[in-house]
Amino acid sequence: MITVIVTAVVAMDSTNSWRNYIVYTSAFAMSKKEDTIIMRIGKEQKAFLKRKAKEKGISLSRLIEESLHDTFKSDKVQILDLINKRKQEKPEYWKTLDESPIVRGFENYIASLYTEFVNPISRDPWHQVVVLIGWVNQLLNVTIKHFDTITEENKKLAAGFILMAANTLVDGLSYVKAEDKEVQEYIIDMKREFAEKTSYHFTALAFEKESYNTIKNELEKVRDELIKELKEK
């Protein structure tokens, strides 16, 4: 018998993963015959879970059971345990390395990505490809914002790696396109916004507001021309 006391908390994450909505606080004893789940959640969370269950065409109990099943796999915990074992082999080295928020971000990222990879959130394989692409942004979020914690003697190399990644992204933008006109218009607007933000950042270094406004106006003209061509196709 499994007795589980569950406290559910709804908090949408970047992958829209309802799997991550449920935080489990529990004691449980295992048996092959019977499962018992005691669950306490708020009205809004209950309505949300019911809606997700209805969308999947399954019962609320089945929805929770599937989520628990994923949790019991404990892939992330296993990876973190493996990392901790390796840390114990070089305690002094890791004592210093763990002071870096970038390293801590990588540690959680690696474990989470591995878990997501072996336990796909989406039942649609082609949608899962998109979910995995979303992890690229998450890696940048947990690293680049802590650039100031890198020692001065290493900042040149670190900056080079980050800007190389940025150049790779820019070069790859030519591949980001769609046949659907509505989607392509969305992509065009996103590319314009990307170019505008990059221009703002660079011109702001010299407080060149006039230069930024000129670039912004030119980008708007290009955007309008692209949309016009798109609609005329």
3 state DSSP class of 33? coil
Phi (first) and psi of residue 59, to 5 degrees: -80, 160
Band the pLDDT of 107: cuts 50, 70, 90.
very high
The Cα–Cα gap between 141 and 101 comes to 11
The Cα–Cα gap between 138 and 20 comes to 15
pTM: 0.62
The Cα–Cα gap between 137 and 128 comes to 15
Task: Please give the helix or strand (H or E) that residue 109 lies within, else none.
Answer: helix 101-118
Q: Where in the chain are the domains? A: 2-73, 74-148
pLDDT, greater one: 182 or 18: 182
Residues 6 or more apart in contact with residue 39 via CB below 8 angstroms? 5, 6, 8, 64
From the CB of residue 47, how many other CB atoms can be counted at a distance below 10 Å? 12
Q: Report pLDDT digits (tens) over 1-43.
A: 333 333 443 333 333 443 433 333 333 333 334 445 566 677 7
